[in-house]
Amino acid sequence: MEIRGAGNLLGAEQHGQIEAVGFDLYLKLLEEAVRELKGQPVAAEADPVVTVDAAAHLPEAYVPEPGQRLALYKRLAGVRTAAEIEDARRELRDRFGPLPQAAERLLDVVLLRLGAKAIGLERLEVRGAHAVLAFAPATPVTPERLVAALRRHGKRLRLVREFVLEATLAKAPWRDTVQALSTFLKEFEP
């Protein structure tokens, strides 16, 4: 494809770059470059780190082939919707049988990561009945929304320092904790 004045966007020269980074990432990088050239702001997308105090992975006994495990991890890292997580869950069941607890937790962590990304968290830590939410400075969550959440949740939510909240969750089984935390994260969505 050629656009007058833009050069060859998807020709033979770019084919190797697309293969190296993947088509979606290539388009994203191209879009950012165009925005930058137009003088428009390029939004830094949050890439939150989610840590939990339990095993969350694809066990070797469940997916024995390292290449398959790596491909599945890569797929899960690129998930953008809850529906994609459910598709991955169905595929794992179809290919490898019932999911072990560590694999279920991994899918839950991916779900929490989606929620964290939607509200601009840099970090989400889940330790037992506590969760730490560290917002990125460029979060779309307004200070007013944070203050409203602090008031609404009372002693169960506190401001640790600027951009960092600590939530006290009800002691519950893992799945209930994930559900409660997902609902809580949605309260901050713009």
Strands (E), 29-120: 49-52
Provide the token pair at 2. 């050629």
Average pLDDT, stretch 8-32?
53
Residue 5 pLDDT exceeds 90: no
Contact partners, residue 54, CB within 8 Å, separation at least 6? 105, 174
Domain ranges of the chain: 8-38, 49-186
Provide the token pair at 14. 């770019």
Kindly report, residue by residue over 69-83, the tens digit of the pLDDT.
Answer: 999 998 998 899 999
CATH number (3.90.1150.50, 3.30.360.10, 1.10.10.10, 3.60.21.10) of 49-186 reads 3.90.1150.50
Distance of CA 40 to the CA centre of its chain: 25
% of the chain beyond a pLDDT of 70: 81
Please give the C-alpha separations between residue 67 and each of 71, 104, 187, in angstroms, as whole numbers.
6, 20, 38
Greatest C-alpha distance within the chain: 62
In this prediction, residue 23 carries a pLDDT of 54
Kindly report, residue by residue over 80-119, the tens digit of the pLDDT.
Answer: 999 999 999 999 999 999 999 999 999 999 999 999 999 9
Residue 165 pLDDT exceeds 90: yes
